[in-house]
């Protein structure tokens, strides 16, 4: 057997373990009765330990030494070389993280998450603060173990978004704010209620599900390799490209919740289903640091796809011009007095609000930026945990012009920090920015793309995205994908131009 075949087999075993862990997680979040939680925790802990031991073993080092000698001199951009190089890079990083640190984090995270959910329920930040302090301390230790040159945040964001760091994010954020803050001011000054409130009516859930699934398939989701379930916190999860599942949640009145939840997760799923079959069970579909089997190259690249399909396609005027009549077949009474234009405006209302997950396209990134800026300040020690609610509220007022009435609707709203997930937030905003760069390039490179989208034909766009992004799995990082397919690194111009054009039209701004 060649050293490369040996390497592939070794990684394939790890991939199988990680996929089994993911299936148990999917089950826990969609099907498992509550009584199963404790023993499921044991199963996950055992399998995670086995997977971790498999990866950081001396055997992996021997296999890597052999395969590196065998592929020396090959094309550095080939999948083979990329697979070996990335495995070596992550092997060295994971080996630097003390086993006790990983264990402490794994033990503390569920307790901290539980305390957080109680604190959120009771509007009691003080009870959560000691746990947040501990999670923050563990994150700092992890950053020190992984190593960084500029800012401790660099070591943490690396897990989610290897091609950015604190310094580059600060520049990106300043560029974004320079466009977003004035646009938001103009919109707020022109805002008035819509003539009809479509979301005061009732939309039976089975029909919502049927319409959502129809749209998901129309944009390219393959149900032979996928399924849709209900989850309180919607997500997409893949166990190889052959089994890519999505979830959504339903509200009887607010139809956009389930529909756009479904379209968002379908965007993630299209990415995973579009990964080249030759990368199945390989290093290029494995997140070694996070211990996930995943085809997308980073959080930002993944979000660029969920947001492209949800917002740029799903919340466009073209989309509702094409699909409104079909939606009205499902809801003839509810939408009897509506038209495509009213629907378009009803799913694009901009309002500065308190809650990130309910935010519109214009305000969303402001919610993200304030979180990332707070994380950086906490990590560098310029902000203390006890001063967090005050700092949060001040930034909400500065960016969005609203102040949370309590911490439940403020600093306690997101689960991320309670589990130690520092460094994951930038992916949302990077995804938004990337989505416009990709779409702009697709329009330049695919003849007649405008017309096909206007007709509700999504195959030409999907094909471009598959060829330029999805098929490569994790072979190239987010910035490499951008440069290869759009000839430009991450930059905000196309995204700001998209928002400016869309909302200037919607609100009649000049």
Chain positions 483 to 502 lying near Zn ion, rule: CB under 5 A, are: none
User: What DSSP letter does each residue of 142-206 carry, written as one string?
Assistant: HHHHH--SS-HHHHHHTTT-TT--HHHHHHHHHHHHHHHHHHHHHHHHH----SS-GGGS---HH
Task: List the alpha helices (DSSP H) in 219-315.
Answer: 255-273, 299-307
Q: Which is nearer to Zn ion, 142 or 305 (CB)?
A: 305
Chain positions 382 to 401 lying near Zn ion, rule: CB under 5 A, are: none
Q: Which is nearer to Zn ion, 234 or 340 (CB)?
A: 234
* Contact stretch for Zn ion (CB under 5 A) within 83-91, 306-314, 324-332, 465-473: 306-314
Minimum CB separation of residue 212 from Zn ion in Å reads 16
Residue entry with tokens 């005027």: 317
238 — phi, psi (to 5°)?
-125, 140
Q: Which is nearer to Zn ion, 161 or 407 (CB)?
A: 161
Q: How far is CA 220 from CA 305, 432, 436, in A?
A: 13, 21, 20
* Contact stretch for Zn ion (CB under 5 A) within 69-77, 89-97, 278-286, 304-312: 304-312
Minimum CB separation of residue 415 from Zn ion in Å reads 14
Minimum CB separation of residue 267 from Zn ion in Å reads 8
Minimum CB separation of residue 463 from Zn ion in Å reads 22
Taking a C-beta distance cutoff of 8 angstroms, is the pair 381, 374 a contact? no
Here's the x/- map for Zn ion, 253-292, by CB under 5 A: it reads as ----------------------------------------
Can you count the helices (H) and strands (E) in the chain?
20, 5
Give the SS3 label for residue 430: helix
Minimum CB separation of residue 261 from Zn ion in Å reads 10
- Token pair in block for residue 309: 């399909």
Instruction: Considering the candidates 161, 236, 265, 272, report the single residue annotated as catalytic.
Output: 265
Q: How many residues bind Zn ion (CB under 5 A)?
A: 1
Taking a C-beta distance cutoff of 8 angstroms, is the pair 505, 186 a contact? no
292 — phi, psi (to 5°)?
-125, 145
Minimum CB separation of residue 225 from Zn ion in Å reads 19
Taking a C-beta distance cutoff of 8 angstroms, is the pair 218, 259 a contact? no
Q: By beta-carbon distance, which residue lies closest to Zn ion?
A: 306
* Contact stretch for Zn ion (CB under 5 A) within 24-32, 184-192, 240-248, 301-309: 301-309
Return the bridge partners of 226, or none: 244
Q: Which of 356, 352, 348, 337 is nearest to 402 (CA)?
A: 352
Rounded distance, CA 416 to CA 113, Å?
Answer: 9
Q: Which is nearer to Zn ion, 287 or 407 (CB)?
A: 287
Minimum CB separation of residue 273 from Zn ion in Å reads 15
Give the SS3 label for residue 238: strand
Length of the chain, in residues = 510
Q: Which of 89, 164, 83 is nearest to 473 (CA)?
A: 83
Binding flag, residue 306, Zn ion (CB under 5 A): yes
Q: Which is nearer to Zn ion, 146 or 430 (CB)?
A: 430
* Contact stretch for Zn ion (CB under 5 A) within 158-166, 222-230, 302-310, 399-407: 302-310
Q: Phi/psi class of residue 276: alpha, beta or left (left: φ > 0; alpha: ψ in -120 to 50)?
A: beta
Rounded distance, CA 341 to CA 339, Å?
Answer: 5
Q: Which of 443, 442, 426, 440 is nearest to 478 (CA)?
A: 426
Q: Which is nearer to Zn ion, 269 or 378 (CB)?
A: 269
Q: Is 214 a catalytic residue?
A: no
Round to the nearest angstrom and report the end-to-end CA distance of the chain.
Answer: 68
* Contact stretch for Zn ion (CB under 5 A) within 305-313, 349-357, 459-467, 493-501: 305-313
Minimum CB separation of residue 470 from Zn ion in Å reads 15
Q: Which is nearer to Zn ion, 131 or 309 (CB)?
A: 309
Q: Which is nearer to Zn ion, 29 or 345 (CB)?
A: 29
Return the bridge partners of 238, or none: 244
* Contact stretch for Zn ion (CB under 5 A) within 132-140, 244-252, 299-307, 452-460: 299-307
Active site residues: 265
Q: For binding to Zn ion (CB under 5 A), which residues are involved?
A: 306
């Amino acid at each position: 057997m060649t050293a490369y075949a040996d390497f592939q087999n070794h990684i394939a075993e790890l991939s199988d373990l990680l996929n089994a862990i993911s299936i148990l997680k999917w089950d826990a979040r969609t099907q498992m009765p509550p009584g199963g939680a404790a023993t499921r925790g044991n199963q996950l802990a055992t399998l995670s330990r086995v997977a971790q031991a498999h990866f950081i073993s001396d055997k992996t080092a021997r296999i890597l030494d052999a395969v590196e000698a065998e592929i020396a001199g090959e094309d550095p951009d080939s999948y083979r070389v990329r697979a070996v190089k990335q495995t070596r890079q992550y092997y060295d990083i994971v080996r630097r993280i003390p086993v006790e640190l990983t264990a402490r984090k794994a033990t503390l995270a569920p307790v901290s998450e539980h305390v957080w959910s109680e604190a959120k329920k009771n509007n009691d930040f003080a009870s959560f603060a000691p746990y947040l302090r501990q999670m923050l301390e563990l994150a700092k230790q992890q950053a020190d173990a992984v190593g960084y040159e500029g800012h401790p945040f660099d070591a943490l964001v690396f897990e989610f978004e290897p091609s950015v760091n604190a310094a580059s994010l600060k520049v990106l954020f300043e560029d974004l704010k320079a466009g977003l803050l004035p646009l938001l001011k103009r919109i707020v000054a022109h805002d008035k209620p819509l003539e009809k409130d479509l979301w005061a009516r009732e939309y039976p859930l089975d029909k919502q599900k049927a319409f959502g699934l129809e749209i998901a398939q129309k944009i390219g989701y393959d149900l032979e390799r996928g399924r849709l379930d209900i989850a309180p916190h919607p997500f997409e999860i893949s166990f190889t490209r052959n089994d890519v599942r999505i979830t959504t949640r339903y509200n009887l009145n607010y139809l956009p919740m389930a529909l756009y939840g479904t379209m968002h997760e379908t965007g993630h799923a299209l990415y995973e289903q579009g990964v080249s079959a030759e990368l199945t069970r390989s290093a290029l579909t494995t997140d070694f640091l996070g211990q996930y089997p995943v085809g997308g190259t980073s959080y930002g690249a993944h979000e660029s796809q969920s947001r492209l399909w949800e917002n740029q396609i799903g919340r466009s005027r073209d989309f509702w011009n094409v699909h409104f009549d079909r939606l009205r077949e499902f809801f003839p009474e509810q939408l009897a007095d509506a038209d495509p234009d009213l629907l378009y405006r009803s799913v694009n209302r901009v309002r500065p609000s308190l809650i990130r997950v309910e935010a519109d396209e214009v305000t969303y990134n402001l919610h993200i930026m304030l979180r990332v800026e707070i994380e950086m300040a906490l990590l560098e020690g310029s902000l203390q945990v006890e001063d967090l609610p005050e700092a949060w509220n001040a930034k909400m007022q500065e960016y969005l012009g609203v102040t949370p009435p309590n911490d439940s609707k403020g600093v306690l709203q997101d689960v991320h920090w309670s589990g130690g997930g520092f460094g994951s937030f930038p992916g949302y905003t990077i995804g938004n920015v990337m989505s416009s760069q990709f779409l702009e390039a697709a329009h330049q490179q695919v003849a007649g793309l405008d017309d096909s989208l206007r007709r509700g034909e999504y195959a030409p766009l999907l094909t471009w995205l598959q060829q330029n992004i999805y098929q490569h799995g994790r072979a190239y990082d987010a910035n490499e994908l951008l440069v290869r397919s759009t000839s430009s690194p991450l930059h905000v111009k196309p995204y700001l131009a998209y928002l400016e054009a869309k909302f200037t039209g919607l609100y009649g701004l000049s």
